[in-house]
Amino acid sequence: MSYLASRMGCIDASGIRKVFALAAQMKDPVNLSIGQPDYDVDEAVKETAISAIRSGHNTYTQTWGNQDLRDAVIGYYQRRFDVTPQNIMITSGVTGGLFLALMATINPGDEAIFADPYFVMYPHLVNLLGGKGVPVDTYPDFKLTPERIEPHITPKTKMIIVNAPSNPTGVTLNADELRAIADLARKHNLLVLTDEIYEALLYDDAPATMVGMYDNVMLLNGLSKSAGMTGWRVGFAAGPEDIIQAMNTLQQYSFVCAPAPAQKASVTALGQDIEKHLADYREKRDIIYNGLKDTFHISTRPGGAFYIFPEAPGGDGDAFVAEAIRNNLLIIPGSVFSKRKTNFRISFAAKNETLHKGIDILTRLAKEFS
C-alpha cells in the first residue's frame, strides 16, 4: 500500500533541480545551467533588510502583504509602463503566486494554453490540479501568437499563460504582440496569466506589459531576477478582484505571507537603478550569441532574460547535454522545457570567463557530433 496521493503521479522532479544536484557533486564544473543572476543583492537592499530585522519587523504580515510594498509595486508599474495594476497582493515568490493563481482558477478538466518551449512549472502545476496543459508549438522563432494559439482553443480552455521575456528561450514580445494575445483572449472570454518575472531584463525592445490591455489579466512578477533576490521569496500578483481575493484566502492556509524583512527590503529594491546589470547582461548575451552562432543553429537572438536555446548538433539535445556533462559543462536539455528534445538551454548568468570556457567546450563538442 502506498500512502502517496495519486496526484503525485502527475508531476516529476524538476530536470533543472536534477542538474543542480549533479553540480553539487562535480568538482569545479563550468556551470551554465543556473537560472539566477550572478550578481549579489544590492547593499542598500541588504541594509534595509538588516534594519527591518533589528527594528522588529520579524512577525507575520497581513496575508495581502505590507501596504508600503503594495504601493511600491503600483509606483514601479506606473513609472515603467504608465499603467496602474489593480488589487495587489504580495506572494512568496512568483512560483508561490503561480501556484495560488492556478489553485484559484483551474478546475479538473480545464485547459491552459502556453508556448512550447515553456517554463517547467506550467504543465506540472496545471496537471497536478486536474487540468490539462496545452503546449503550443512555437518553433522555430519561439513567438506565441494568436495564429498559433487559436486552433488550440476549445470549450474547455480556461486561460492562456504568457511568459515574456521567456524562460528558456529569452524571446520577447513587444506591446503590439502582447495586445494581439489580449484581443484574442477577449474574443474568447479567456483569462490571461502573464508571468513577467524577467520584464526588467530587456536588452533591445521597449518595456511592455499586459497590464491594462484587458480586464481579465492576472499579473505575476517579483524581485528574484532583477534584484538577485532569488532566496528572499518575494513576488507580487495583481488582477481581477475575485481571483486575488481567492488567492489571498489560499495564502492564509498555505504560505501565510512572504518573509517580513524581505518585504521591507523589496520596497528599496523596486526603486533601484539596474542599468549597470542590464549593460553587463547585454554584453553576456552578445558573448554567448556571437560565440555560438557560427557553430550552432540559433533561430533567435535572445532579447531578454538570461537564456539562449540553441539546437543540438544531430538534433538530440538529451544526448548532447549528457556528453557536455561528461566534459564538465552543465547545461539543461531542451526536453525539460518542451515536447521536443532538439535543443538545449544555456544560462548566460555567469562570469564572462565562464561563458568563454563554455563556448570553447561547446564548439569542440559540436565538431564531435557533426
pLDDT at position 21 is 62
pLDDT at position 20 is 58
Round to whole Å and give the CA distance between 5 and 367: 47
Round to whole Å and give the CA distance between 181 and 12: 30
Query: Residues 141, 151: contact at Cβ < 8 Å?
Result: no
Q: Tell me: the pLDDT tens digits for 146-176?
A: 999 999 999 999 999 999 999 999 999 999 9
| Contacts (Cβ under 8 Å, ≥6 apart) of 87 | 238, 239, 240, 241, 244, 245
Cell of 344: 538545449
- Spacing of C-alpha 317 from chain mean position: 21
- Helices (runs of H) and strands (runs of E) counted in the chain: 12, 12
Query: Residues 334, 344: contact at Cβ < 8 Å?
Result: yes
The list of the chain residues with pLDDT below 70 reads 13-24, 370
Neighbours of 171 (CB within 10 A): 26
- Indicate left, alpha or beta for 130 from its phi (over 0: left) and psi (-120 to 50: alpha): left
Residue type, 58: N
Superfamily of domain 6-41+274-369: Aspartate Aminotransferase, domain 1 (3.90.1150.10)
Query: Residues 67, 220: contact at Cβ < 8 Å?
Result: no
Q: Tell me: the pLDDT tens digits for 77-98?
A: 999 999 999 999 999 999 999 9
pLDDT at position 2 is 80
**Where do the domains of the chain lie?**
6-41+274-369, 57-270
Closest residue by Cα to residue 212 from 245, 254, 179, 257: 179
> CA geometry: angle at 126 spanning 349 and 232, to 5°?
40
**DSSP-derived 3-state class of residue 152:** helix
Q: What CATH class is the domain 57-270?
A: alpha beta
pLDDT at position 24 is 64
- Spacing of C-alpha 274 from chain mean position: 18
